[in-house]
Every structure is written in C-alpha cells, then in structure tokens.
Structure 1
Amino acid sequence: MYQEEGDTMDGGPAAGAEAAARAAATGPGLAHLLVSLQLTDSAFPSGFYTLSHSLEGFAHARAVDSATLPLLLESMILHGVGPADATALALAHRACRAGDPGAVAAVDEHLFATKLGQEMRRAATRTGRQLLDLASEVFDRPEIDDYHARVERREVPGTQAVAAGVVYAATGVPVRQAVASDLFAFCASFAGAALRLRLTDHRKAQSLLHGAAPVIEEAVEAALRRELPDVGATLFASDIMSGRHERAEARLFAS
C-alpha cells in the first residue's frame, strides 16, 4: 500500500522520531527531576514549614510589607542563602560525588560556624537531620545512610544545606539543578511564611516566586564558582531580626 512520506505505518522516520522522543522523556534526566520535585515539595516533611527565615522578626518590627517583600527576598538570596547555604550545598555535593566524606564534613562544620544566631543554627541542624532521616529511608543510598549515621553520632552538625547536597549527589541529581532546586524550596518556604504572616495573598505569592527566578539563576551561578572560604552570609539585618525573634514573647515560627 502506498504511504506518504513521514507515514508511521512501516516504522519510517516519523516512527523513529517518536520513539526517540519517548526515550528522551523517560531517560535518567526525568528521574533526577522527579527527585528534585519530591524534595522541594512543601509536603516533604523536612521541617521547612516551621521556619520563616527571620521574616517573622521583620514583620514584628514592621520593617517589611507587601511592597518591600520582593526586595527582602532578593537580598536574602543574593547576600544570605546564596553565599552561605547554596554554596555549601554545591561544595558538599561535589565532595560527596568525589567520595570524600571528610570534605563534606568540613563544609558542614564551616557552614554551621557561620550561622551567628542560635535560632538559625538550631533550625539548620533540625531540618538537616529530618531530611537525612527520611531520605535514608526513601532513597536507600549508602552515602545518605553513612552521613546520617555520622550526624546521629554527633560527629558533624548536619546542616540542612549540606544534608541536601549529600542527598542530591547520592541520587544523581546534577549540582546545578540541586542548587537551583534548594533555592526554590527556600523561596517557596519564604512565600508560605509571608502568607501565614499576612504580608501577601495567594496570588501575589505566586508573583513573588516568579519574580525571584532571575535572582535564583544569578545566585546559582555565583554559588557554583565559590570555594569553602567564601561560604558565609552578609545579611546582618536578618541576624538582628532573628536574635529579636528568639526573645519574642509570641512566635508563630521556629525561626
């Protein structure tokens, strides 16, 4: 029977292209994306929902409102989370992939030491331990199990960013995707806290997340270029608000 060019009945070029598309859609890249989506989902019980990342302190001081919220988030990404946690995640990811647990521990200890406030240190280690505990069960990777055991033995702090770096590396998620995913998770947590503090509404929260995308991209590229001595935040207003929050009589969030 005569067939037009591109007809798929005899497995011609169109059929080959369709098969290639199916193979690409089900390849390992999608598996890594699914891991990232699972870890950044607000339903993943890492404890992020208990944190405002010092936003509650800003709200108590009336130092932020709906108009200045995007600027505060940008500052936190570029001068706080990006140089500190995102950079530590990238370094821990590389060290884990290189099979160097000592280097992972060094990143963990350095990041912990840069967190000036007790509240922020506790938040980082509590969420890090929860992440490792659940990831050890869900993903069943020896690198995660080993680092989780070290955290349980109190050999290392187990900060959230380093724990995430280990989990992403062990599950094969590329480092750039891992850093971007964790920064997005921070932004989503920040937006969720803003909602609960009535600093925004659900529609504006989505605009806040969308508007943060270019800032996340900039922070990712910067984090990938830094080395261990560069790890640390310079957002001192956030440290001050966190310190005030520790002593507040009424608190909705743990940080």
Structure 2
Amino acid sequence: MAGQPLGREELAGFLSVLQLSDSASPSGRYTLSYGLETMAQSGRLATPSDPATLSALLRDQVRLAVGPSEGVALACGHRATTGPDSLDLELVTRADQRLTAVKLSREARETSSRTGRALLRAAIPVFGAGALTTFASEIASRRSPGNHAVVLGVLSACLGVPRLQSVAGELFAFAAGWVAAAVRLAVTDHRTAQAVLYDVRDDLAAAANSAADNDIPDISSCAPLLDVMAMQHEETELRLFAS
C-alpha cells in the first residue's frame, strides 16, 4: 500500500536536499580527500583496502569529527535563519567562529572557508535570499569565517529544508565525497565504495539525529589521527587533493 504522499513544500525540501548534496554542486569539495591522501601515501591504507577498514575509518570520522563539528554547526546556521530574509547574525557568527576553532589544521580551516565562499557565490545569484546576502557581507568584512557547513545551514533554511534533513544531507555528502576520494586514490573500487556507504548509513542517521538539536557549545571534533594526517598533507610535495 502506498504511503501518505508528501506535500508540495515537503517534496520541494527533499529535492533541495538532493540538489545541495549533489557532487555537481559548484563548491569545490571534490578537491578534498579529508586526510585520506596522506594516509594512503604513508602506507596506513593498503591498496586495495579491506572494506571493513574503510567502513570503520569513515564511521569514526562521522561519529567523532564531522557529525559533532560540521553537523552541529550546520544545525546552528539553520536555526539562526528564521526566514529567507531573516538571520540572527550573532548566533550564526558564533557558530561559524566555533567551527573554525575546532579545526586544528590550517588546511582544514582554509578549505572549509574556501568551499563555503564558493557555495555563497553560486547560491546568491540562483536563490537570491536576503539572509545569504547578509551573511556574505559578514564574511566579506571578516567578521565571520564562512565555513561551508554554516553557509549550507543558512541556505538550507532559506530553501525550507527541515533542519534534520539538512544535517543528514550534509553528512551523506561528506561520506559520498570521502568514498569518491578513496576511489580516486585507488584504495578501493566503485562497487566497494557503494558497499561502504551502505554500511555506514545507520551511523550517518545517528550522527544527524544527534547533531540536529545540539548548540554552539557542542561543536567539537576528536579525530587525532586524521588531524595529524591533515597537518602532514600541507608539507607533501605531490598532492592530488587540496586536503
């Protein structure tokens, strides 16, 4: 039996999640390996890697780093946006600054800000929301760093995407980009990458549920190995990825 059909606004919100989490979104995140490149270069990942190892690594990164940091910061940016033209600047700026503070490597901070600004440049002409323009002014004046997750939270709220769906979409986009980087680094193949994505879907859902209702003091990250890999990546001479 068919379920209750989604209303027009709910379906539009779902389609917006698909659009914003699509790899074709022009934010430049396809240039990020999230520490995987250094791990592969250092020999910590076999070629090809055991799917269980990849799943465990991705699961820990979602649970301990991306969910509590980007996920919560996105939720705060979403919560600060009470309408397409209404933005709580104090809340969104504090969340943005806190997210930058928990990113220990210079490379992680710079790529997060760069992709956030790229998302803004693409989104403002397309969606035209006043809240986005207001936030862009704060970023241009250097009062706010402009992290990708926070920009995406504001944009998602402007488009009427529910907060939990926004966080879930971002965490899935991260996971999809992560396994895509693993394929490009030849530590896995496309079929195994899809198996890894399927394997961690419950973890993505749990991380999204945990992050969606958290607030600025909860923005945190604890992934020491990946932080060290990111720091080492800055010093490598040959790099396929920006991080």
Q: Same fold (TM over 0.5)?
A: yes
After TM superposition, the structure 1 = structure 2 runs for residues 94-105 of structure 1, keeping only pairs within 5 Å, are 94-97=79-82, 99-105=87-93
SS in 1 for 2:80: helix
SS in 2 for 1:185: helix
Q: What is the identity, as a one-letter code, of the residue corresponding to 2:27? A: S
Render the CA deviation track for 1:123-179: whole Å, top value 9, x for unaligned: 100000011111111111111111122212222100011011111011110000000
| Residue 58 (structure 2) aligns with | 73
After TM superposition, the structure 1 = structure 2 runs for residues 95-244 of structure 1, keeping only pairs within 5 Å, are 95-97=80-82, 99-244=87-232
Q: What TM-score, normalized to structure 1?
A: 0.88
| Residue 234 (structure 2) aligns with | 246
| Residue 40 (structure 2) aligns with | 59
SS in 1 for 2:97: helix
Render the CA deviation track for 1:178-209: whole Å, top value 9, x for unaligned: 00000000001101100100011111111111
d(CA) in 2 for partners of 1:32 and 1:248?
Answer: 42
Render the CA deviation track for 1:91-129: whole Å, top value 9, x for unaligned: 111112274121000100111111111000001000000
Runs of 5+ unmatched residues, structure 1: 1-17
Structure with the larger RCO, 1 or 2 (CA within 8 Å, 6+ apart)? 2
Runs of 5+ unmatched residues, structure 2: none
Q: What TM-score, normalized to structure 2?
A: 0.92
Number of positions where the alignment pairs a residue of Structure 1 with one of Structure 2: 235
d(CA) in 2 for partners of 1:40 and 1:230?
Answer: 24
Q: What is the identity, as a one-letter code, of the residue corresponding to 1:31? A: A
Render the CA deviation track for 1:14-66: whole Å, top value 9, x for unaligned: xxxx9xx7xx4561111111111111111111111000011111111121242
SS in 1 for 2:240: coil
Greater CA radius of gyration, 1 or 2? 1
Q: Is the 8 A contact 2:75 2:213 kept in 1?
A: no
Identity across matched positions, percent: 41
d(CA) in 2 for partners of 1:147 and 1:225?
Answer: 22
Q: Would you say 1:84 and 2:83 are equivalent positions?
A: no
